[in-house]
Structure formats: C-alpha cells, structure tokens
Chains A and B, each alone.
Chain A
C-alpha cells in the first residue's frame, strides 16, 4: 500500500458519511426557520394526500401500473443522480482515492439505493400500501439497469450533446434568440387547427417550451458571476437576454395569432418562467445546488398555492419570494480575497 494511505478502514463508510452529512446540513439550512419547516410539512402532506387520493380511486391493476411507472422513473433518475455524484467524487472531490475503489462505489450505491427504497416504501405505505412491493421492485430493476460504472465511462466531454447544449446556452444570451423564438412560436401556432381554444393551447405550450430553453440556469456560472460582483439584474441581462426579448415580442405575436387572450396567457407564462429563473439565480448565489433546488421547489409550491387562491395574490407572493432571496444574496458578492 502506498505511503500515507492509512488503513482505509474508514473507506467504505467515508463516501456515505460525507454525503449524508451534506444532505443533513442541506435540509437543516433549507428549513432553518419555523415557517420553512411548516411549509415543508404542508408540502409533503399535500403531495402525499394528492397521491393517496389519486391512487386510492384506481383499480388494483391500474394502481400497480402507476406504481411501476413511478418506481421505474425514480430508479432511472436516482441511478443517474448517483452516477453524477460519483463522477464528482472521482474527478473533483477530496475522496477520489475511495471513490475509485470498486468496492467503495458499490457500497455507496447500495447504501444510497437502500435509503431511497426505505423512503419510498414509507411514502407508499401512506399512499397505497399494496403497491409497495411493485414500486420497490420497479425502482430496483430500473436502478440496476441504469447503473453506470463511472470509473470505466470516460468523462463526458465535447460530444454532440454538449455541443448542442453549449449552442443553446449561447443563444440564450442573445436578444435575437427571443425574436427567432417568437417567430417559431407563431409558425407552430398558425400550423395548429383553426379552433381558437386549440390554437391558444398550442401557442401557450410552444411559448412554455421555448421559454424553458431560454431561461436555463447554470449554477456554476451564477456563482462565478456573483463572486465577480454581478447582482440579479446584471446576471439576468447577461444570461436571459433572449428570454427578456421573448417576453416583449411573444405576447404581440400571440395577439396576432390568437387574439388578446393569447397575449395574456403567453405573457403570464413567460413572466412566470422569468420569475422562476430569478428565484433559481438568487438561490444558487446563496446555497449549494441541492439546497438551492429544494428552496426553489418550496417557493414554487407556495406561489402555486397562491395562484390557486387568486393570480392577484400570487403576484405579491412571488415578488416577496424574490425580494427575500435577493436581500440575503446581496451579501454574496466580492468574496475574492
């Protein structure tokens, strides 16, 4: 054994300990105030209640198929997320020497999948207990099938997917992209059936798809810009010039294609996505990736609840959410030194 590696007895537990500590701290930080904890409990209870309501009304056969789909989707997503996490450990983490050992990786994956299955089983016990075996089996089958040996897989690099990704991210920064996107939305809308409501739906969906591409957030870039002294406005102008242009052009296009109602719907969709982008930018300036996404998910839930009450209530709630994160993020500049 090379000098300095010690007994490695801590090895197999090192990766799990490391990530478990970070998960615990992410949750504690994300739920720091009593109102955050209250919101999280309401969120989880609502999700479980909705899921219970949805599955309880189904026949056993339908419930099994739904459970299988949920388990399989979660299995694939979890196996990808864990592979990404192991890639971090191998390439950029302080525990690379452990992560490169096959036995350590296997134990890490087994521990993580076991924890996820336990959480799933507990949730399904509330939602619909007879689906537990199916959801767990589907999860494990998908997770095993989607497993990737990251030590053998080359680090993803300049493949065609990354090239497209880079190109899209580059377009996102250009105002002209908003105009091109609006023209595309118009073409798609005019190609739809002449029925007004169908056209309105197509126009809204097309706008939603386009703005989702134009408002992507790269956490690393956001953090770098924040460290370099850029605030929310500056980051939005730099990263979402296409989306901001689309906000002004698309409602005009929608009003031409489907009338005033189209303009209102499309404008609302785009504004909503830009608010989501602002929330994500501010959260990523303040928190680590997982925490940031958790907090944004909670805030989106609150805003969605407000929308159900009234869109007019949602507006100040969304503004309050952005303001609250902005206030905290204002101190996250100029950390160089």
Chain B
C-alpha cells in the first residue's frame, strides 16, 4: 500500500516551474531515492513534499489523504532534515533537538542505534557554532527523527559525513526502513541509490527522466558500474 503518492505535482519558484508534473508512489516501509543533476528539482521537490514550499498543482497523498493544499499538514506528517548550514550557532545540540521535537516524546530506544551512528552524545553539549560541517549535518539529520515521525525526508544526508559515519548511517537507516520507516532521500551517489534504496526516480529539468523499481535496483546492485554508466548517459542526455 502506498504511504506517499505524488501525481502531476508542480513547484514554482519565481516564474519557473522547478518541478513540473512529477509523480511517483512510495510504499510504506521502503527507502525511496531521488537522484538528478544539480538544479534538476530534487531539493525543491522534497521541500515541497515536507511543506517547506507550496505545491502549485498536483496531488500529494499521505496515508490516503490529499495534503496538496495543506502545507502545515504536510510539515506535520514528515520528519525533515533542515539545511545544516542554517542551524542556529548560539544553541547547543541538545537544545536544538529539544525544540525540533515540537513537544513529541522522543523514543530513545527506537533511536539508540541512529544516535550512536550520528554521535549525538558528543554533540549534545557542543555549541552549534563550534561544530564542523559534518557535525552540523549529523544534528540536522537527528532533527528529522527526534519528533518520532514514521515518514522521513532527508536531502542528501551523506554530504559532509566521513566514510565511517556515512557507512554507519546507511546501515542504521536501512534497519529502520526494514522496521517500517518510510524514507525519502535525495542522493548524489548512484552506487548508494543502487545498494540502499528500494525504488527511486531520476530527475532532469524538474521532470522524471527514469523510474527505478526494486527489480531494476537489485540488478544495478549486482553490477553497479554498468548501472552508473547507463544512468550517467541518461543524465547527460537529459532524458
């Protein structure tokens, strides 16, 4: 059953349609990857899905309800990772997470592995202004989960992370998805898309250039280099 359904969605920035008629289904308990060139509309699409931008047209069903016209309901429905560089400098990590949970009770048992992968214990008392880009990214990711949402949107979560942290995070996210989490991520890395996601889309100029189902991604995981070559050709051709 689809947890999230987008159909013919349009996002307008200024006078430009940065997302132009995109549609896809995300079943509950799956990891859905969105990949594309810079400026292809990934971030705008995810921000609109999470209510951070208005949808100019289309359908956005979450758990069966069309929330296209209700930004506040979309924002309540998803845990969303705010941009790491815009976190307030004059706050400690734990204070930020306390605000980000918006009054919800944090399920520490459910999040223990994630908190460990993100190193939240070491960041709790640190001023955000003293954090490196990677540390800020970890806190931003934690913000998406701290409210206990079962649907999470992360925009390029592995940016700035060191290889160990990126690997650990990927493993934990996969385990959480297997436990029922619905995860939508924008990615830049085709091998990660092939190895971690259950399904995905490739965006080009605000439209879906290719849809990748579970079968296609399983094949891609067997020969990631061939998959990467094929997808790069597709991105280059803009189709």
Interface size class of B (residues with CB under 8 A): 35 or more
Chain B residues, CB < 8 A from A155: 13, 53
Q: Which residue on A lies nearest to B143, using beta carbons?
A: A94
Chain B residues, CB < 8 A from A101: 72
Contact in complex: A159, B82 (CB < 8 Å): no
Whole-angstrom distance between the alpha carbons of A335 and B100 in the complex? 24
Contact in complex: A154, B102 (CB < 8 Å): no
Chain A residues, CB < 8 A from B16: 157-158
Binds B, one of A18-26, A32-40, A173-181: A18-26
A205 located at the interface, meaning its Cβ lies under 8 Å from any Cβ of chain B in the complex: no
Question: With A335-B133, A337-B133 given, is the CB distance from A288 to B149 under 8 Å?
Answer: no
Whole-angstrom distance between the alpha carbons of A122 and B132 in the complex? 42
A146 located at the interface, meaning its Cβ lies under 8 Å from any Cβ of chain B in the complex: no
CB distance from A88 to the nearest CB of B (A): 7
1/0 contact string of A153-181 vs chain B (CB within 8 Å): 01101110010000000000000000000
Contact in complex: B99, A25 (CB < 8 Å): no
A70 located at the interface, meaning its Cβ lies under 8 Å from any Cβ of chain B in the complex: no
Contact in complex: A29, B90 (CB < 8 Å): yes
Contact in complex: B99, A154 (CB < 8 Å): no
Chain B residues, CB < 8 A from A25: 90-91
Q: Which residue on A lies nearest to B70, using beta carbons?
A: A100
Whole-angstrom distance between the alpha carbons of A88 and B82 in the complex? 11
CB distance from B33 to the nearest CB of A (A): 23
Question: With A6-B148, A154-B12, A155-B53 given, is the CB distance from A11 to B102 under 8 Å?
Answer: yes
A233 located at the interface, meaning its Cβ lies under 8 Å from any Cβ of chain B in the complex: no
Contact in complex: A100, B91 (CB < 8 Å): no
A93 located at the interface, meaning its Cβ lies under 8 Å from any Cβ of chain B in the complex: yes
Interface of A is mostly: loop
Question: With A92-B82, A337-B133 given, is the CB distance from A18 to B102 under 8 Å?
Answer: no
Contact in complex: A90, B133 (CB < 8 Å): no
Whole-angstrom distance between the alpha carbons of A25 and B91 in the complex? 9
Partner of B87, one of A11, A94, A100, A158: A94
Whole-angstrom distance between the alpha carbons of A8 and B101 in the complex? 9
Contact in complex: A6, B101 (CB < 8 Å): yes
B103 located at the interface, meaning its Cβ lies under 8 Å from any Cβ of chain A in the complex: yes
Question: With A6-B101, A151-B71 given, is the CB distance from A92 to B150 under 8 Å?
Answer: no
Chain B residues, CB < 8 A from A159: 14
B216 located at the interface, meaning its Cβ lies under 8 Å from any Cβ of chain A in the complex: no
Whole-angstrom distance between the alpha carbons of A1 and B16 in the complex? 34
B105 located at the interface, meaning its Cβ lies under 8 Å from any Cβ of chain A in the complex: yes
Whole-angstrom distance between the alpha carbons of A173 and B194 in the complex? 43
1/0 contact string of B56-87 vs chain A (CB within 8 Å): 00000011000000011101110110110111
Contact in complex: A335, B132 (CB < 8 Å): yes
Whole-angstrom distance between the alpha carbons of A158 and B96 in the complex? 32
Contact in complex: A95, B76 (CB < 8 Å): no
B104 located at the interface, meaning its Cβ lies under 8 Å from any Cβ of chain A in the complex: yes
Report 25 cross-chain contacts, Cβ distance below 8 Å, ordered by A residue.
A2-B63, A4-B79, A5-B102, A6-B101, A6-B105, A6-B148, A8-B102, A18-B99, A88-B86, A90-B52, A92-B52, A94-B87, A96-B51, A97-B51, A97-B72, A97-B102, A97-B147, A158-B13, A159-B14, A162-B14, A220-B85, A227-B133, A287-B89, A288-B129, A335-B132
Given contacts A2-B62, A158-B16, A336-B132, 12 further A-B contacts (CB under 8 A): A6-B101, A7-B103, A8-B103, A21-B90, A21-B91, A26-B90, A29-B90, A88-B86, A100-B71, A151-B71, A291-B90, A335-B132
Which residues of A are at the interface with B, using a C-beta cutoff of 8 A?
1-11, 14, 17-18, 21-22, 25-26, 29, 88, 90-98, 100-102, 151, 154-155, 157-159, 162, 220, 223, 227, 287-288, 291, 335-337
